[in-house]
Amino acid sequence: MKKFSILYLIIGIAVLVLLTQKVILPLVNDVIKSDAFLVDSKDQGSQFPISNSMTDLAFMHCNNYIKSELGSDVSITFSEKPTNVWSLGNHQYVVNAEFNMTNATNTATKKYACRITYDNSDDTSGSADFDNWSIIGIDGVDGV
């Protein structure tokens, strides 16, 4: 049996390679080509920063969320405009901005990134209401 173990190993590896190439990869390609992951939305993603009414609202809602989470012990001054806002498509945005934070002990300028999603898809009539938005995550702000 020992002299055939290497032969069985080589045959087993060859079968696994052929199974992967002939069965699994074509199946994965068929799933990728299908509409299973297609999201039908008028809002298209962009590799470049954009600025429109929805990105302005995303920036405002991120700022309001940060202000509410940090509480009244901290004085916060946000910049007038975000540094950059990217659209990920389907009304999902990444906001990159900064603010000045002053508390009892120090003053600091903080940069943050906020990922936010508008939940009502292409119906933007309720976009000013924060209840129609979801904060996915914030990075760069301690305690939020």
Each residue of 35-81: pLDDT tens digit? Answer: 777 667 777 778 889 899 999 999 999 999 999 888 888 889 999 99
4 and 68 fall within a common domain: no
Tell me, yes or no, whether 72 and 32 share the same domain: no
Is there a domain that residue 78 lies in? yes
Tell whether 68 is covered by a domain: yes
Q: Which pLDDT value is given to residue 89?
A: 85
In a domain, 24, yes or no: yes
Q: How many structural domains compose the chain?
A: 2
**Is there a single domain that holds both residue 94 and residue 133?**
yes
Closest-CA residue to 81 (of 65, 62, 97, 61): 97
Nearest CA among 102, 91, 8 for reference residue 57? 91
* Residue bearing tokens 């007038």: 80
Amino acid at site 73 = D
81-139 pLDDT, tens digit per residue, is: 999 999 998 889 999 999 998 877 888 889 999 999 999 878 888 888 989 999 999 99
Residues 59 and 129 grouped into a single domain = yes
Structural domain range at position 22:
1-38
85 with 115, same domain: the answer is: yes
Please indicate, yes or no, whether residues 65 and 134 belong to a single structural domain of this protein.
yes
